[in-house]
């Protein structure tokens, strides 16, 4: 007869042994990301704040009508990368971007490119909802006007309606368009900001941790909205929430902090894969360590 006690001891022993060796599995997967034609492409992009290189040599291709997620630990440079994609970093005096960022093949950092036009085409939604201190209606209308909207009153009403419907907010605010944007809940304010962003007809929407100040229900509404928006827009989102990245994104880029040759901590792109692959069978050990909570 099999000795049950001794075999169980064997199981225990091997499990204990495994703990002291590297338990990582050897994953050899197809590295192809299966991208649809890209909308934004970075080539060897590095971003500096003064002498400090925050992120180095990032080459990424973001697909059209896809949601791409940027994840990684604090300080890995993911928000810096996001802000470089529409020249938002230009607003930081010490910031400097090297390499190239192509939008439909055109380098947005090339001489003569208007950064305001770049930001209109590649919009951004921020971590904390930041409605203007104006009515719900004017949050959309004013944003559109300063971005060059020249239609009449009726056309403006159509635009406001369209943007609020697009941001899944219309039904909740249609009877109080004159109320202050601040009267809305946090989740509604964030959707108002999304409505404001899409009212100027961007092509790409960047989202910098758009749900980090929202409760779980408001978060799910924004996620649902993102899935609807990707029919018409390309979305790139920075999130600390890996489950959120797993739920909404088509592709995920994992960034990590590495020491460079001079001992400086610099953000590096570790892996860019289809989301399902990255969260089930990542190619890189660093990714595996991060998503399973082994980090150092």
Partner 1 sequence: MTGIKDTNVHFHQELEDLERKVLSMVERAEQMVEMAVQSVITSDLDLAERVVTLDDGIDSTYLEVHQDWTSLMARNQPMGSDLRRMTTLIQLNATFERMGDQCVNIAKIAQLNEGLPRVERICEQIREMGDLVRPMIRTAVEAYLRRDLDEARLLPAMDHPVDRLNANMYKETVAVRDNPELLEWATKMLMASRALERVGDQAVDFGEQTAYLITGERAEFDEDGLAQALNEDTDN
The tokens 């409505």 sit on which residue? Answer: 195
Query: With 0-12 CB in 10 A as exposed, 13-18 as middle and 19+ as buried, what is 162?
Result: middle
- Asked if 187 and 222 touch (Cβ cutoff 8 Å), the reply is yes
Q: Could you please report the per-residue DSSP string of 28-96?
A: -------PPSEEEEEEEEEEEETTEEEEEEEEEEEETT-EEEEE-STTSSHHHHHHHTTTGGGGSTTEE
Interface with partner 1 (CB under 8 A), residue from 4, 51, 171, 175 = 4
Interface with partner 1 (CB under 8 A), residue from 7, 59, 106, 185 = 7
Residue 56, token pair as written in the block: 């180095």
Smaller CB separation from partner 1, 28 or 111? 28
Residues 152-181 that bind partner 1 (CB under 8 A): none
Quick one: how far is CA 129 from the chain centroid?
Answer: 16
What binding mask, one character per residue, do residues 22-61 give for partner 1 by CB under 8 A, x or -?
A: xxxxxxxx--------------------------------
Shortest Cβ distance from residue 247 to partner 1 (Å)?
10
What binding mask, one character per residue, do residues 251-290 give for partner 1 by CB under 8 A, x or -?
A: --------------------------x-xxxx----xxx-
Residue 106 makes contact with partner 1 by CB under 8 A: no
Smaller CB separation from partner 1, 66 or 288? 288
Using CB under 8 A, which of the segments 18-26, 127-135, 165-173, 261-269 binds partner 1? Answer: 18-26
- 3-state secondary structure (DSSP) of residue 227: helix
Smaller CB separation from partner 1, 203 or 289? 289
- Asked if 182 and 134 touch (Cβ cutoff 8 Å), the reply is no
Interface with partner 1 (CB under 8 A): 1-2, 4, 7-8, 10-12, 14-15, 18, 22-29, 242-243, 246, 277, 279-282, 287-289, 291-296
């Amino acid at each position: 007869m099999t000795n049950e006690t001794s075999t169980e001891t064997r199981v225990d022993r091997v499990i204990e042994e495994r703990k002291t060796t590297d338990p990582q599995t050897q994953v050899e997967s197809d590295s192809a990301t299966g991208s649809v034609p890209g909308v934004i492409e970075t080539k060897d992009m590095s971003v500096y704040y003064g002498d400090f290189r925050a992120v180095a040599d990032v080459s990424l291709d973001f697909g059209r009508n896809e949601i791409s997620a940027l994840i990684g630990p604090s300080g890995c440079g993911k928000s810096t990368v996001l802000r470089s994609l529409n020249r938002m970093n230009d607003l930081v005096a010490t910031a400097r971007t090297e390499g190239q960022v192509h939008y439909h093949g055109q380098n947005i950092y090339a001489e003569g490119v208007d950064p305001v036009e770049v930001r209109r085409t590649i919009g951004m939604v921020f971590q904390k909802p930041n409605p203007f201190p104006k009515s719900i209606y004017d949050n959309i209308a004013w944003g559109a006007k300063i971005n060059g909207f020249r239609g009449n009153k009726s056309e403006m009403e159509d635009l406001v309606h369209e943007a609020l419907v697009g941001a899944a907010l219309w039904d909740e605010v249609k009877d109080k368009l004159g109320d202050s944007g601040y009267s809305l809940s946090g989740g509604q304010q964030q959707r108002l900001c999304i409505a404001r962003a899409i009212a100027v007809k961007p092509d790409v929407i960047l989202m910098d941790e758009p749900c980090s100040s929202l409760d779980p229900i408001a978060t799910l509404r924004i996620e649902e909205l993102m899935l609807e928006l990707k029919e018409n827009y390309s979305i790139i989102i920075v999130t600390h929430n890996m489950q959120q990245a797993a739920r909404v994104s088509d592709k995920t880029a994992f960034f990590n902090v590495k020491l460079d040759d001079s001992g400086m901590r610099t953000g590096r792109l570790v892996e860019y894969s289809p989301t399902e692959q990255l969260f089930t069978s990542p190619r890189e050990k660093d990714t595996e360590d991060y998503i399973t909570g082994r980090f150092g």
